[in-house]
Amino acid sequence: MAATIVIPARFNGPPDSANGGYTCGLVAGLLDAEVAEVSLRAPPPLDSPLDVELGRGRVSLYDEDRLVAEGRAAELDLEPPEPVDPDAADAAARAGYERWSSRHPFPTCVICGPAREPGDGYRLFPGRLADGELFAAAWTPDRSLADADGLVRPECVWGALDCPTSAPIANFGEGPPAVLARLTACVEAPVVAGRGHALVSWPLEVEGRKRHAGVALFDADGSLLARARALWIELRL
């Protein structure tokens, strides 16, 4: 029998499709690689079996005949900034909440949607730090995201690495929304549910409708737990 995966409806991004980072994390989990690069080719459906195709160091995800995502081993040349503690990240997020939430294109997104309830959604609302380029959000992972040992499942960590990278490059109602097209990530250490963490994101480059940004996840002691580079595409309207 061919392998399949199903993305639960809880992990949506736009209302009718899955969160890109969570989907990328599921694909990355099928690879034997420290760093994985996953490209999204079509909106991933929710609560629907998706076929997995493995071969030649790559993995592809299909919705019937439609290619949804594909992943491969990669390298990640990304130098993280200095760590930010969860309290400072929370202060930045509170200060930036109105900007983040007032014209959010997908308010029910499981990662950054202001319409999601605490414990159900991640409620990550990155705000600008004092230096002007860095954004930060505090994250205390809910225990529903963890395995039996209390460690956040890797695909759930990938989800947290998604939306914060939009903060430095998003239009926030002043132009077309952007969607995640590719995420290259490395989870370097376990993430413990129920503990405070900080996510720090920053812009990298802009090429027309393509926007690149980085993100790093730190624990309360300042240890680097994960990092990622994201490519977002501004939609044509």
Domain ranges of the chain: 4-73, 86-234
CATH topology of domain 86-234: Thiol Ester Dehydrase; Chain A (3.10.129)
Which residue would you say has higher pLDDT here, 217 or 172? 217
Q: pLDDT digit string (tens) for 95-113?
A: 989 888 888 889 999 999 9
> Tokens at residue 233, please?
């595409």
> Tokens at residue 6, please?
């199903």
Query: What's the rounded Cα separation, in Å, for the pair 60 and 80?
Result: 29
203: number of CA atoms within 13 Å, CB side?
13
> Tokens at residue 119, please?
């414990």
Query: What's the rounded Cα separation, in Å, for the pair 228 and 7?
Result: 22
Q: pLDDT digit string (tens) for 47-87?
A: 999 999 998 889 999 999 999 999 999 999 999 999 999 99
pLDDT surpassing 80 at residue 12: yes
Nearest to 230 by CA among 179, 172, 191, 171: 179
By the 8 A CB rule, do 13 and 110 touch?
A: yes
Q: Chain-wide mean pLDDT for the chain?
A: 94
Reported confidence tier of residue 172, pLDDT bands at 50, 70, 90: low
pLDDT at 189: 98
Reported confidence tier of residue 211, pLDDT bands at 50, 70, 90: very high
Q: Which CATH number fits domain 4-73: 3.10.129.10, 3.50.50.60, 3.40.1190.10, 2.40.270.10?
A: 3.10.129.10
Mean pLDDT for 171-186 is: 83
Phi, psi (deg, nearest 5) at residue 201: -125, 155
Residue with tokens 């994985």: 36
Instruction: Indicate if 86-234 has the same CATH topology as 4-73.
Output: yes
Query: What's the rounded Cα separation, in Å, for the pair 210 and 234?
Result: 7
Which residue would you say has higher pLDDT here, 176 or 192? 192
